[in-house]
Amino acid sequence: MIPVFMLLFSAAALVQFFVSYCRSILVTYAKVELSPSTLEVAGIQSDRIPSSEFGRLLGLLRFAEDPGDDRMELRAVRLYYSVVRMIGALGAPFVSAAREWAEREGGRCAFFAAVALDRRIAAVTR
Amino acid sequence: MFTTFDYILSFLGTAAPIYIVIRLAIHRELSRYFAIAFYSASAVAASIGLFAIMEIHGFSSPQYLYFYYYSESTLAILLYFVVLGFLRQLFEDLGTEIYVRIGGILLLSATALVSFLMVEGHKDYMTSRFVVELGRNLNFLGVVLTFLLWAAMMKSHETRARMTQLALALGIYFCSFALSYGLRLSHPEWQLLKTLPPILSTWLHWSWAYTFTKLPEEARLVTLRVAAFRTR
């Protein structure tokens, strides 16, 4: 009984810490304002980027010169996005809030990818 | 058999803590993050010791096994000091750090005593099941401690971004460690679980190194905005 409790508690705490860790990265990036050139290159209309744009923005990132200082963040956010999508897909049929949450968090991930692209474009044009 | 992957992991797992200690020393932050610096230095010493024992006695020797699990348990206990250091920083402003110190001393004494009794009782037949159980218990205590730290950070509306990321990385590490050890007890045949601990240790050091490099001490964020679950 106790080992099962320890496992469940550890698993629940892991979700809490992992989500919070990824959010702490996303929140840091959320303060950045995107430049007009990045909005134009990425074909984005406003600062509110839909979750579905994440994959496309990651694709664009591959074409930009890699400064190498955001790889760890990118990996963490990519993993977080997969987890968010999975939770959204599993929870959406039962709880409508799950879909909204997944869309909001996915949007944050997409914004993070746009900021990473912005930094790379700025490094090239500087 | 020590594979190329193990060598690469050992190198990465040693380079990151060396970097942390040097960086903290250069930026004169050793006293502020003394527990992290001490843990990192101990991790480097443990890696060198492990490598020396492997060279002398071999990878499959009981000496290697003993050193591996004892050093891992000692490092887990040293990580408690890291959590206590964060708690002390957190309660410094409130003037209640004396309670953290007393609580910390009691907790560490109790953990050391229980661990000593467990190890003493099994010293003649240190089975793999026992060392896995010890690792699970020590890391689970780490999970609880880090969870209390995180709850205290949210309650006190802590805004230091560095402390937040360092503590969260520690939480991920403890939880993953406790989970991998817990699952190893029920599924000893799962080989992946045996390779997880060194990967997690390396990840923790790289994550800390990254936080120290990227986030200045002055960086701030709203802890409540990053919490996955919170009470209103």
- Measure in Å the smallest separation between the Cα of B186 and chain A Cα atoms: 10
pLDDT of A126: 64
Residue B126, pLDDT > 70, answer: no
Of B100 and B201, the structure prediction assigns the larger pLDDT to B201
Lowest mean pLDDT among A70-74, A122-126, B74-78, B142-146: A122-126
What is the mean predicted confidence (pLDDT) over B86-97? 80
d(CA B224, CA B150): 11
Of B19 and A30, the structure prediction assigns the larger pLDDT to B19
A6 touches chain B (CB under 8 A): yes
d(CA B44, CA B18): 7
Considering only CA atoms, give the Rg of chain B: 18
Residue B51, pLDDT > 60, answer: yes
Integer CA distances (angstroms), B73 to B3, B70, B163, B196, in order: 24, 5, 24, 15
- Measure in Å the smallest separation between the Cα of A17 and chain B Cα atoms: 6
Residue B213, pLDDT > 80, answer: yes
d(CA B89, CA B91): 6
Decide: B226 and A23 in contact? Cβ < 8 Å. yes
pLDDT, averaged across chain B: 85
Integer CA distances (angstroms), B66 to B57, B125, B173, B191, B224, in order: 12, 11, 22, 20, 43
- Measure in Å the smallest separation between the Cα of B144 and chain A Cα atoms: 9
Verify whether the Cβ–Cβ distance A16 to B172 is below 8 Å: no
Best of A17, A19, A28, A77 to disrupt the B interface (most B CBs within 10 Å) is: A17
Question: What's this model's pTM, rounded to 2 decimal places?
Answer: 0.87
From the list A3, A14, A69, the residue facing B172 with the nearest CB is A14
- Residue B147 structure tokens: 């969870």
d(CA B167, CA B144): 13
For residue range A73-108, list pLDDT tens digits in order: 889 999 999 999 998 888 878 888 888 888 999 999
> CB under 8 Å to B182, separation ≥6 — which residues?
A3, A6, A7, A10, B136, B140
Verify whether the Cβ–Cβ distance A9 to B183 is below 8 Å: no
For residue range B65-91, list pLDDT tens digits in order: 888 888 988 899 899 899 989 988 888
H-type helices in chain B, by residue range? 4-26, 34-57, 62-92, 97-121, 128-155, 161-186, 192-214, 223-226
What is the mean predicted confidence (pLDDT) over B154-173? 91
From the list B186, B219, B229, the residue facing A16 with the nearest CB is B229
Q: What's the start-to-end Cα distance of chain B, in Å?
A: 53
Considering only CA atoms, give the Rg of chain A: 17
- Measure in Å the smallest separation between the Cα of B52 and chain A Cα atoms: 31
Decide: B17 and B43 in contact? Cβ < 8 Å. yes
> B169-179 burial by CB neighbour count: b if 16+ within 10 A, else e?
bbbbbbbbbbb
Verify whether the Cβ–Cβ distance B182 to A24 is below 8 Å: no
d(CA B150, CA A13): 10
Decide: A13 and B171 in contact? Cβ < 8 Å. yes
